[in-house]
Amino acid sequence: MSTSIDSFDLYLEPADSQRLASLCGPFDDNIRHIERRLGVEVIYKDNHFRIIGQAAGIQATRDILTNLYVETAPVRGKQRDIEPNQVHLAIQESNALEQDESPDDDPVTLIKTKRGLIKPRNKNQQEYVRAIVTNDINFGIGPAGTGKTYLAVAAAVDALERQEVRRILLTRPAVEAGEKLGFLPGDLAQKVDPYLRPLYDALFEMLGFEKVEKLIERSVIEIAPLAYMRGRTLNDAFIILDESQNTTTEQMKMFLTRIGFNSKAVITGDITQIDLPRGQKSGLRQAIEVLNDVEGISFTFFNAKDVVRHPVVQRVVVAYEKFDSESQAKANAAAKERKAAQNVAQAQSISSGAHKNNG
């Protein structure tokens, strides 16, 4: 089965800037909602929308955007805004989240560690593991609890134990340019450890605490803050970049160009949890756009259906998505009321001024 992602170019007609703004929502919130729920990436300019992801997600997103754009058509000359609850209902009505996955006749790719075999639990995880095995650079994108980091660590341990690589390198953009490192006690590893705890937890589970400690002492497992990787060439290594949505575009390019011969990289992240300052583009988002068709690079998109932790975690993810939609709807309603009040006040002010002038 191919792990490459598809893309579709959608042109919404007529090209009306006000209607397009209504469709996308404030700060593109409606688009982000669709991305989060359907596991796709939507890039747009004017009325041209490019949808990137798996075929089912692309089809659902195309239909949702088309139908919602129809709803933006003015009624009696009045512009209609698309509210978050409309987006939520459109996604639910599309049945995109409930569609049965097509049967997968391909053999399951297992990951072998000394603590036992690790088997992917759903179709997306299976495609993700297969992509890691067959490609040099792999992106795992989706919400927390979908196994993207855990499986990356498992694949790294498997490659190390089969001597396909000589070391494992863990990195994360939690600390940048050294300024945050200085406020934490200890040496470099101790400063970075708190940020890499999810990766460590997975290593301890697969290798045991003592062996992980020994491998770290021998630099077989290495902690390398992203800001400190510039200028290096990483050969014979399995490299994991976690929380990549918080890389800048420059950092992502720098990281991807560090990869040397006989090395493999897995980049994980959640494009709905970007903590960069507003206006600064995520390196992960740009990578999805730029590297979509590059040979040897794979993308796997996860969504709420792929959460494999305790069953309540999936319900938590869905509950937060619903809460965000309702909160945004209330905020938009309040903003409308304020705007209406301002318009009334402005009209009264103009009327009062005209009355004085006539007097």
**pTM exceeds 0.95, yes or no:** no
* Banded pLDDT at 290 (limits 50, 70, 90): very high
Q: Which residue has the tokens 């196994």?
A: 147
* pLDDT tens digits, one per residue of 95-130: 665 554 444 455 567 787 776 778 787 888 889 999
Domain ranges of the chain: 1-100, 111-312
Question: Residue 171 and residue 243: Cα distance in Å, rounded?
Answer: 9
* pLDDT tens digits, one per residue of 175-194: 443 345 555 566 666 666 67
- Is 58 in contact with 299 (CB distance < 8 Å)? no
3-state secondary structure of 289: helix
* Third-level CATH fold of 1-100: Ribosomal Protein S8; Chain: A, domain 1 (3.30.1370)
Question: What is the H or E stretch that residue 149 is in?
Answer: helix 148-161
* pLDDT tens digits, one per residue of 218-262: 999 987 778 778 888 889 999 999 989 999 999 999 999 999 888
3-state secondary structure of 226: helix
| Residue 195 in tokens | 């940020």
pLDDT on residue 179? 44
Dihedral sign from CA coordinates of 227, 230, 232, 236: positive
The residue ranking higher by pLDDT, 94 or 216, is 216
| Residue 327 in tokens | 């909160």
Question: Residue 248 and residue 236: Cα distance in Å, rounded?
Answer: 26
Residue 154: closest CA among 238, 235, 217, 213: 238
Rank 4-8, 30-34, 186-190 by mean pLDDT and report only the highest.
30-34
Question: What is the H or E stretch that residue 137 is in?
Answer: strand 137-141
* pLDDT tens digits, one per residue of 142-176: 888 888 989 999 999 999 988 889 999 998 886 44
Q: Superfamily assignment of 111-312 in CATH?
A: P-loop containing nucleotide triphosphate hydrolases (3.40.50.300)
Candidate from 51-60, 222-231, 294-303 with smallest mean pLDDT: 222-231
